[in-house]
C-alpha cells in the first residue's frame, strides 16, 4: 500500500498530465468504477454457479456409533446384553434430469444480468470521464483567467509609466498618475485572486482523481483548439445512433431480458421434477466380549450396499409459492419496461440538450472572439491617444476594462465550447 501511495505522490509532484492521462488514471482509481467492476465479477460467479447446476451433487459420509444394553444375539436368536461399536461409510450422488427448464432459463437470465452489469460499468466509465473532463477544463479556464490578469497588470504598469512621463512633461496633471496607480493596484489584487482560484481548480481536479501530493507541483497540459469550430458538426453526424447503443439503454434492455427469463424460471415451479439418485455404502460392527468376529475387510465386503433410483416429484400444493413467484416476476418485467422507456426518454432529452448546448456554445465563442478583437483594437486606439496627450486616464481605463471583460468572455466561451464537445464525444464513443 505504501508503494502505491508513493507512486501516486510522485505523479502529483513531477508529472504534467494531459486530459487523457487524467481520465485514464481516474478510470483505474475511481471507487464507483471499482464497485461496478466487482458487480461484473459477482455476476460472472452467479452465471458460473447456474451452469454448474447441470453437474451431479456427490457427497461422502462417515459415521461412528456405539450402542449399549440388550440386543438380539444372531447366533442363538435370543436377547442378551451386548455393547456394540458400529462404523459406516457411504457415497451418495444426486443429479437433476429435468427441472422444467429451470436451469436453462436461469443461465439465460444470468447471462443478461452479466451484460447489464457490464453496460453499467461502461456507463460509470463515461460518467467519470465527463466529470474529470469538467474539472480539467475548469482548471484550464482559471489558468487562462490568470494569464489574462497578468497581461492586464503589464498593461496597467505601462499606463502608470506613461502617466508619469506625461505628468513630468507637463502634459497631464498629477491626478492622472494617481488614477493609473490605483488601477494598477486593483489589477494586482485581481491577479492574486485569480492565482488562488486557479490553484483551487487544480486541487479540485486532483481530488477528483484521488491523487495525492502538493497541488503547487501538479500541472496539466493545454488542449489543441485549432479545429474547434468544425468539430460540432462532425459529432452530430453519428450522434443520432447514441440512443440505441448508450450503456444506460443497453443495461435497461439487458435487465428487461433477464426479468423475462426470471418469469420462465418461476413458471418451472409448476413442472414435475425428475432426478437420479445413486449410492454405495458399507459398514463394520464390533461387539465387545462376543468372541471371534469377522475381520474388518470381510465385514466391509459383506455389508456392501449399492442403490440407484429415479425420483419424480409432482407439485400439487405449495402454499401458492409458485403463483406468487410468477406475480413478482411479472411485476419486475413491468417495472423494467417502464425503466427502459424512462431511460430512453431521459437520454433523448440529454442528447438534444447536449447538441444544442454545443451549438449555443459555438456561437457564443465565435461572437466572443469578434468582441475581443473589437475591444482590443479600441484599447490600442485609446492607448495611442493617451500617449499623445489627447486622451484621459479614465477613457483608457474604460477601454482596458472592456478589453479585459471581452478576453474573459472569449476564454469562458472557448472552454465552455470544449466542454460541450467533450460531452458529445462521450455520448458518441463506442
Q: Please list the pLDDT of the chain residue by residue as tens digits (430 residues).
A: 344 344 444 444 456 899 889 999 999 999 999 999 999 999 999 999 999 999 999 999 999 988 887 665 555 556 667 788 889 999 999 999 999 899 999 999 999 999 999 999 999 999 999 999 999 999 999 999 999 999 999 988 988 888 888 888 887 788 888 888 898 999 999 999 999 999 999 999 999 998 888 888 899 998 877 666 555 555 555 556 677 788 999 999 999 999 999 999 999 999 999 999 999 999 988 877 767 778 888 888 888 999 999 999 999 988 899 899 999 999 999 999 999 999 888 888 888 888 888 888 889 999 999 999 999 999 999 888 888 878 888 888 889 889 989 999 999 998 888 888 888 877 776 6
Write the DSSP symbol of residue 78: E
Q: What is the pLDDT of residues 292-346, one digit of tens each?
A: 778 888 888 888 999 999 999 999 988 899 899 999 999 999 999 999 999 888 8
The pTM of the whole model exceeds 0.85:
no
Instruction: Write down all domains in the chain, each with its CATH number in brackets.
Output: 2-55+101-271+319-428 (1.20.1600.10), 56-98+272-314 (2.20.200.10)
* Torsion of the alpha carbons at 298, 301, 303 and 304, rounded to the nearest 10: 170
Calpha distance 351→344 (Å, rounded): 10
Calpha distance 4→107 (Å, rounded): 39
Half-sphere CA count of 363, side-chain side, radius 13 A: 6
E-assigned strands of 105-239?
A: 219-220
Q: Could you give the C-alpha distances from 203 to 12, 209, 215, 280, 422, in angstroms and in order?
A: 11, 10, 6, 70, 21
State the DSSP H helix or E strand holding residue 430, giving kind and residue range, or none if neither.
none
Q: What is the pLDDT of residues 34-77, one digit of tens each?
A: 999 999 999 999 999 999 999 999 999 999 988 887 665 555 55
Closest residue by Cα to residue 207 from 144, 139, 146, 143: 139
Instruction: State whether the Cα torsion 243-135-418-11 is positive or negative.
Output: negative
Contacting residues for 429 by C-beta, under 8 A, at least 6 apart: 126
Does residue 281 contact residue 90 with C-beta atoms inside 8 Å?
Answer: yes
Cell 458400529 belongs to residue: 86
Burial of 43 (0-12, 13-18, 19+ CB in 10 A): buried
Calpha distance 164→18 (Å, rounded): 45
- What's the pLDDT score for residue 269? 92
Scanning 210-246, the segments in alpha helix (DSSP H) are: 231-239, 242-245
Does residue 235 contact residue 428 with C-beta atoms inside 8 Å?
Answer: yes
Amino acid at each position: 500500500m505504501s508503494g502505491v501511495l508513493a507512486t501516486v505522490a510522485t505523479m502529483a509532484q513531477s508529472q504534467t498530465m494531459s486530459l487523457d492521462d487524467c481520465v485514464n488514471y481516474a478510470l483505474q482509481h475511481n471507487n464507483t468504477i471499482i464497485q461496478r467492476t466487482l458487480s461484473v465479477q459477482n455476476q460472472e460467479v452467479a452465471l458460473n454457479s447456474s451452469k454448474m447446476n447441470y453437474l451431479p451433487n456427490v457427497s461422502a459420509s462417515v459415521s461412528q456409533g456405539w450402542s449399549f444394553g440388550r440386543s438380539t444375539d444372531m447366533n442363538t436368536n435370543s436377547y442378551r446384553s451386548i455393547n456394540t461399536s458400529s462404523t459406516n461409510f457411504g457415497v451418495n450422488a444426486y443429479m437433476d434430469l429435468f427441472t422444467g427448464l429451470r436451469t436453462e432459463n436461469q443461465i439465460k437470465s444470468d447471462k443478461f444480468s452479466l451484460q447489464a452489469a457490464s453496460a453499467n460499468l461502461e456507463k460509470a466509465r463515461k460518467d467519470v470521464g465527463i466529470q474529470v473532463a469538467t474539472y480539467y477544463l475548469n482548471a484550464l479556464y482559471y489558468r487562462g483567467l490568470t494569464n489574462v490578469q497578468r497581461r492586464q497588470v503589464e498593461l496597467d504598469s505601462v499606463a502608470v509609466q506613461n502617466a508619469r512621463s506625461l505628468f513630468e512633461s507637463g502634459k497631464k496633471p498629477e491626478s492622472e498618475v494617481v488614477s493609473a496607480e490605483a488601477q494598477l493596484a486593483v489589477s494586482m489584487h485581481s491577479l492574486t485572486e485569480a492565482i488562488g482560484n486557479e490553484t483551487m481548480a487544480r486541487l479540485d481536479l486532483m481530488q477528483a482523481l484521488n491523487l495525492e501530493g502538493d497541488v503547487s507541483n501538479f500541472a496539466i497540459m493545454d488542449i489543441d483548439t485549432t479545429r474547434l469550430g468544425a468539430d460540432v458538426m462532425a459529432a452530430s453526424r453519428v450522434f443520432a445512433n447514441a440512443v440505441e447503443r448508450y450503456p444506460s439503454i443497453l443495461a435497461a434492455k439487458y435487465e428487461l431480458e433477464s426479468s423475462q427469463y426470471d418469469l420462465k424460471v418461476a413458471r418451472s415451479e409448476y413442472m414435475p421434477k425428475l432426478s437420479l439418485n445413486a449410492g454405495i455404502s458399507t459398514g463394520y460392527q464390533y461387539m465387545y466380549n462376543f468372541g471371534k468376529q469377522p475381520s474388518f475387510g470381510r465385514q466391509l465386503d459383506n455389508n456392501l450396499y449399492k442403490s440407484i433410483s429415479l425420483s419424480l416429484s409432482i407439485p400439487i400444493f405449495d402454499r401458492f409459492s409458485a403463483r406468487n413467484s410468477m406475480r413478482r416476476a411479472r411485476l419486475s418485467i413491468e417495472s423494467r419496461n417502464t425503466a427502459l422507456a424512462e431511460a430512453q426518454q431521459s437520454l433523448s432529452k440529454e442528447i438534444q440538450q447536449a447538441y444544442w448546448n454545443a451549438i449555443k456554445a459555438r456561437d457564443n465563442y465565435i461572437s466572443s472572439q469578434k468582441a475581443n478583437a473589437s475591444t482590443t483594437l479600441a484599447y490600442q486606439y485609446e492607448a495611442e491617444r493617451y500617449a499623445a496627450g489627447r486622451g484621459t486616464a479614465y477613457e483608457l481605463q474604460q477601454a482596458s476594462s472592456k478589453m479585459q471583460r471581452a478576453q474573459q468572455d472569449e476564454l469562458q466561451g472557448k472552454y465552455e465550447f470544449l466542454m460541450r464537445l467533450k460531452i458529445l464525444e462521450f455520448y458518441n464513443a463506442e
